[in-house]
Amino acid sequence: MKLAIASFYLALSASSAFAFSTAPAFVVGPAASAAASTTSLPMSTAEASSTDVAESDGAPKSKKEGRLRMMKNPQFFRKGFKEVRGDVESVMDGEYKSQLVDEMKGNEFKIERDGVTVYLAKDFGFCWGVERSIALAYEAVKHYPDRTVHITNELIHNPEVNDKLQAMNVQFIEKLGEGRKDFDTVGDGDVVILPAFGASYEEMDHFDKKNVDVVDTTCPWVSKVWNTVDMHQKKGLTSVIHGKYAHEETVATVSFCEDYIVVKDMKEAQMVTDYITKGGDREAFLEYFKNAVSEGFDPDTMLKKVGLANQTTMYKKETRAIGQMLQKGMMEKYGPKDVGQHYMEFDTICDATQERQDAVHELVENKSELDLDFILVVGGWDSSNTAHLLEIPHKAGVRSFHINRADCIGADNTITHRTVDGEIVTEPFILDMDKDVVMGVTSGASTPDAAVQDSLSQIFILKKVHKGSEGSD
């Protein structure tokens, strides 16, 4: 982990133009309510549109330009604090690494123990962006031992990591509902951490005007998406975002858009494509997408030229299929010759997300050869990238479970897990305790290796206890 953290700082310096030359996104959805008050900031892009930004004296011409200006503030930090880096690396190694996982990686991603054979996905767990974000947050806490440190959201979607930050006395800013947050607790001279998902333009602008130090842990892949929607805006395109409109990352992304619509899946993308090619009931369309479009969205004029971007944690194959659908729709509407004037697409899918999806596909494709009983997916229940890992075995008909903590596996041989529909259920786990278990395991990009080890240890104990009880009989 020390090498990985050190490498990210070198990469950050070498590629800062790519990773950070973007404007952050703030808040969210047109549905957000809102009048700002002294206690809270509304999350509505309408209240701080790019046009508004350009109108005031000395203001930047775009939100991207505005963020670049904020990043030059001497109280804005995005490269961490070298004097505490060594201590942070040691702490992270102790808290998040796993001897068991390292053993599997050194043994062709396999281990046999206590009647359980485990096949580990070839790509899994912490991605570079998540590891970087945690390191920056930890460094901030150590660098400011006598200051109050706040964070605008969960750092990442992993309960153990966020619990550790709370134990370090990091103050999580309260959400007030309807897209608003309570910033009254942030005092003069305090420190504010921006999470891996990023923060909206409006939030960043708010803190830029206060006497606070801001530590930006935004993942560079998220910044890449912001660059893309900024390009859409400059070319007069409506941004079609493949994502979940309430997800923190998408909330941030749309704050950089002028005109946008968020589609969750192929069904919603088909609705948009059908409207492009055939028109339809405008009011019904707007009612359906009321929480997922920019203020004043007009499908009759704003779907004539579109650009595709995505929430970085979405399912890559689905994003590509949506792109093909939109492109085909534009060809049908305007002809192959002019399709380039009406549709634009850039690859904004995170490499780490795709690599982990591919690794699970490999497990699923080799299910029969490996004789897998099930696949275990470890990661936060609100983690989008982890949820998409579960979809792969589920769609292939492979028994699979998504757990967020090791204690989801009960001593009574039950498992509490999140289904692909988002329901939390408890059911019998190992169906034949007398038989050796053969399983696959993977983890989301925000899941530490230690969480995988703890989960597997629970399974080893289950089998060992059962074998011991048989012997006593």
Alpha-carbon span 465 to 451, nearest angstrom? 21
Answer positive or negative: Cα dihedral of 99, 104, 107, 111: positive
Closest CA to 168 of 191, 186, 188, 185: 191
Give the C-alpha separation, 315 to 321, whole Å.
Answer: 10
249 carries an active-site annotation: yes
* Distance, CA of 384 to CA of 352 (rounded, Å): 13
Q: Distance (Å, rounded) from C-alpha 295 to C-alpha 297? A: 5
Cα–Cα separations (whole angstroms), residue 403 to 110, 248, 410, 462: 20, 21, 12, 16
147's CB contacts (< 8 A; 6+ apart) are 189, 190, 191, 213
Q: Identify the sign of the CA torsion 220, 445, 424, 264.
A: positive
* DSSP code of residue 404: S
Residues in contact with 445: Cβ distance below 8 Å, sequence separation at least 6, in sequence order = 125, 126, 127, 129, 130, 313, 350, 352, 353, 356, 383, 385, 386
The beta strands (E) that lie in 170-266 are given as 171-172, 175-177, 180-182, 191-194, 213-216, 238-242, 260-263
**DSSP category for residue 2:** H
Please tell me which residue in 249, 258, 268, 345 is annotated as part of the active site: 249
- Where are the strands (E) in 288-395, listed by range? 306-310, 343-345, 374-378
Start-to-end CA span in the chain (Å): 46
Place of tokens 């009406």: 342
Distance CA 278, CA 86 (A): 60
HSE-up (13 A, CA, CB side) for residue 200: 30
Q: Which residues are catalytic?
A: 249
